[in-house]
């Protein structure tokens, strides 16, 4: 099958390569001319036979919006666009309506697999009309892992990125649980071999998983993880998951706490915890640590610890 791939970065480039290995003809465009097959979107569209299929793999937000808007100007009725980035599902609904008005199909596809996807395949979560999804199945079949699992047509336009958003929210909670468990085990003073403890869980336990495998792999390189700063970014899906939970009145305490933990990781000196320390000092006389690291005693009062 012929397909255009816009965005040949770490994910898009590997996906294009997997498709080529699967026998598909991929015309790739990237702003970096050294890895691009064409000079621009116009040439990409010209190189593809009608009806065309174009996969967009650029950062979410304005880059995706601008790319899809431009494709709407260049493509023809009967063509179809796939957004495989991490777009917000609300944007998908707008893009679907915009392209449908011109007779152009739209499919949103949440993609998971990271740098391992080239060899192992990508989990694909798709939203869109049945006719458009069916037409793209040769592409999906090549990108997904071999076997029964790794692909779902989740529902209408927006459904693919919605379930990918929730998938990433679940991922936040699972990673946070591993991190907290690690910290407690390391702090216990009882466990002298933390990496081997986690390695032992790779078989026979209910928490065995790919994330556990990756954690063990990280500790193989750095057993105490001393070379890594405890700072975690978020790519947006966690925030959108929590916002969707508010919109639908669905309680998500674990995922919400995991998101807030990432925010806390970015503060060398948390303003909120400074307030907590100051209040404990005021009502209980508990010692506080100065900005320079020295302890200072509070008022001479007897009070229970809080």
Dihedral angle, C-alpha 270, 265, 247, 154, nearest 10 °: 180
Question: How high is the pLDDT of residue 273?
Answer: 66
Instruction: Say what the pTM is.
Output: 0.85
pLDDT confidence band for 271 (50 / 70 / 90): low
- Residues with active-site annotation: 164
Domain 164-265 fold? 1.10.1040
Question: How high is the pLDDT of residue 306?
Answer: 46
Which tens digit of pLDDT belongs to each residue from 24-53? 999 999 999 999 999 999 999 999 999 999
Domain boundaries, the chain: 2-157, 164-265, 270-306
Question: How high is the pLDDT of residue 124?
Answer: 98
Domain 2-157 fold? Rossmann fold (3.40.50)
Average pLDDT, the chain: 90
Which tens digit of pLDDT belongs to each residue from 48-73? 999 999 999 999 999 999 999 999 99
The answer to which of 27-41, 72-86, 169-183, 255-269 has the lowest mean pLDDT is 255-269
Pairing mode, strands 288-289 and 151-155: unpaired
């Amino acid at each position: 099958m012929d397909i255009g791939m816009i965005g040949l970065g770490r994910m898009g480039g590997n996906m294009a390569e997997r498709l080529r290995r699967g026998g598909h003809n991929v015309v790739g465009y990237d702003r970096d001319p050294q890895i691009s097959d064409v000079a621009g979107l116009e040439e990409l569209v010209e190189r593809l036979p009608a009806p065309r299929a174009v996969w967009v793999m650029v950062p979410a937000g304005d880059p995706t919006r601008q790319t899809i808007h431009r494709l709407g100007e260049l493509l023809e009725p009967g063509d179809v666009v796939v957004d495989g980035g991490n777009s917000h599902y609300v944007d998908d609904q707008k893009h679907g309506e915009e392209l449908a008005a011109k007779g152009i199909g739209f499919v949103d596809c949440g993609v998971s697999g990271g740098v391992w996807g080239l060899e192992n395949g990508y989990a694909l979560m798709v939203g869109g009309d049945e006719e458009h999804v069916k037409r793209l199945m040769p592409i999906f079949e090549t990108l997904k892992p071999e076997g029964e699992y790794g692909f779902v047509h989740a529902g209408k336009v927006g459904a693919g990125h919605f379930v990918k958003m929730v998938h990433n929210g679940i991922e936040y909670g699972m990673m946070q649980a591993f991190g907290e468990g690690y910290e407690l085990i390391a702090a216990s003073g009882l466990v002298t071999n933390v990496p081997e403890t986690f390695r032992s869980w790779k078989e026979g336990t209910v928490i065995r998983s790919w994330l556990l495998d990756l954690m063990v792999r990280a500790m193989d390189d750095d057993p105490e993880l001393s070379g890594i700063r405890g700072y975690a970014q978020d790519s947006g899906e966690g925030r959108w998951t929590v916002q969707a939970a508010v919109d639908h009145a669905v309680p998500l305490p674990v995922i919400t706490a995991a998101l807030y933990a990432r925010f806390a990781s970015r503060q060398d000196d948390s303003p909120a915890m400074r307030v907590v320390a100051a209040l404990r000092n005021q009502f209980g006389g508990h010692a506080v640590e100065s900005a320079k690291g020295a302890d200072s005693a509070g008022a001479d009062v007897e009070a229970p610890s809080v």
